[in-house]
A = this chain, B = another copy of it.
């Protein structure tokens, strides 16, 4: 049922990606600039009802990568800040350098020497696509240095390699929105098929990260392997409603579709005060509330900045009452994806 490039003219992302991934068509890229600084956005995967298939990018927080061309072939990491020493400096073990290495190999430029400075501007293990933001910033920096002007989708397979290293599975629901900005649907993994979705411009996002430990691998493992068909039907009704709401710019529909009867009931157990935080957020006027990725960060959609601010203040003071440190962010949806900032 899959429309192959050779049969039909390409209409969607799928065909574009297939074309970009064909190695023999890849042009040779030459160094266009000696250094660059790139920002890439944090992302909220799942978007409550769309487990493993939906994600969106925010304007804050995000990570920064400074990349410089060096004299010696190979990738080095000279500095990592903001990680409290948690990330590996070894280029063979760091998701950013590994992804960049795969990218350089794919375009026949393994001869190139690149040095990476990674500045973490967001917490690690927060459920906000921390590794994706770093990886996408690194890949976009390399692409920029080489003047590779192909669609960013050409970078997706390499970003996914990084995710595989970081989370044990090559998911795309963080890297794809970090790479493209906006909302992204991963319709299928085999073959990989991503669809960029529109969204209402006046949608605000309040994010609160309670600083408790919920490792992605473990958060995945507690999810049930079998589910009731009845619940699955409820879930895909909501996924379809959310996607429709995004296309229709219907914030009410988006809000009432963002219900998760399958994953949230389990994962929320790892987040202290999850249901109280939902209630507080909804009472303050949130459109919807849920877990970002595998948590422990939570997020709420709102119609304006002031409501988002009120929600983050309320939730942070609630968490403080439970002696839990937290970080918060208020942002609109990021539409640009990674961005050259220096």
Contact residues of A with B, CB < 8 Å?
Answer: 1-3, 8, 11-12, 14-15, 50-54, 185-188, 193, 195, 197, 223-230, 232-241, 243-244, 247-248, 250-253, 255-259, 262, 282, 288-289
- Rounded to whole angstroms, the CA-CA distance of A167 and B11 in the bound complex is 40
Please name all residues of chain B whose beta carbon is closer than 8 Å to the beta carbon of A195 when the two chains form the complex. Answer: 240-241, 244, 248, 253
A14 and B253 contact, CB distance less than 8 A: yes
A185 and B232 contact, CB distance less than 8 A: no
B185 and A241 contact, CB distance less than 8 A: yes
Given A233-B51, A236-B239, A241-B185, A225:B225 Cβ within 8 A: no
B237 and A185 contact, CB distance less than 8 A: yes
Nearest-CB residue, chain B, relative to A229: B227
Interchain nearest-CB distance for A168 vs B (Å): 15
Please name all residues of chain B whose beta carbon is closer than 8 Å to the beta carbon of A51 when the two chains form the complex. Answer: 233, 236
Please name all residues of chain B whose beta carbon is closer than 8 Å to the beta carbon of A226 when the two chains form the complex. Answer: 226-229
- Rounded to whole angstroms, the CA-CA distance of A262 and B33 in the bound complex is 51
Partner of A225, one of B229, B241, B251, B289: B229
With A12-B248, A185-B241, A195-B240 already in contact, 6 other A-B pairs whose C-beta atoms are closer than 8 Å: A12-B250, A51-B233, A187-B240, A195-B248, A232-B235, A240-B243
Please name all residues of chain B whose beta carbon is closer than 8 Å to the beta carbon of A228 when the two chains form the complex. Answer: 225-227
Partner of A256, one of B2, B224, B238, B239: B2
Please name all residues of chain B whose beta carbon is closer than 8 Å to the beta carbon of A236 when the two chains form the complex. Answer: 50-51, 53, 232, 235-236, 239-240
B193 and A240 contact, CB distance less than 8 A: no
Please name all residues of chain B whose beta carbon is closer than 8 Å to the beta carbon of A54 when the two chains form the complex. Answer: 240
B185 and A252 contact, CB distance less than 8 A: no
Interchain nearest-CB distance for A53 vs B (Å): 4
- Rounded to whole angstroms, the CA-CA distance of A37 and B288 in the bound complex is 46
Interchain nearest-CB distance for A147 vs B (Å): 31
Please name all residues of chain B whose beta carbon is closer than 8 Å to the beta carbon of A248 when the two chains form the complex. Answer: 12, 195
Please name all residues of chain B whose beta carbon is closer than 8 Å to the beta carbon of A12 when the two chains form the complex. Answer: 248, 250, 252-253
B188 and A1 contact, CB distance less than 8 A: no
- Rounded to whole angstroms, the CA-CA distance of A50 and B233 in the bound complex is 8
Shortest Cβ-Cβ A-B pairs, 3 listed? A187-B241, A236-B236, A247-B247
Please name all residues of chain B whose beta carbon is closer than 8 Å to the beta carbon of A15 when the two chains form the complex. Answer: 252
Partner of A1, one of B11, B193, B227, B288: B288
Interchain nearest-CB distance for A188 vs B (Å): 6
11 inter-chain pairs at a CB distance below 8 angstroms, sorted by A residue, are A1-B258, A12-B248, A53-B233, A53-B236, A185-B244, A193-B256, A226-B227, A226-B229, A227-B227, A236-B240, A243-B244
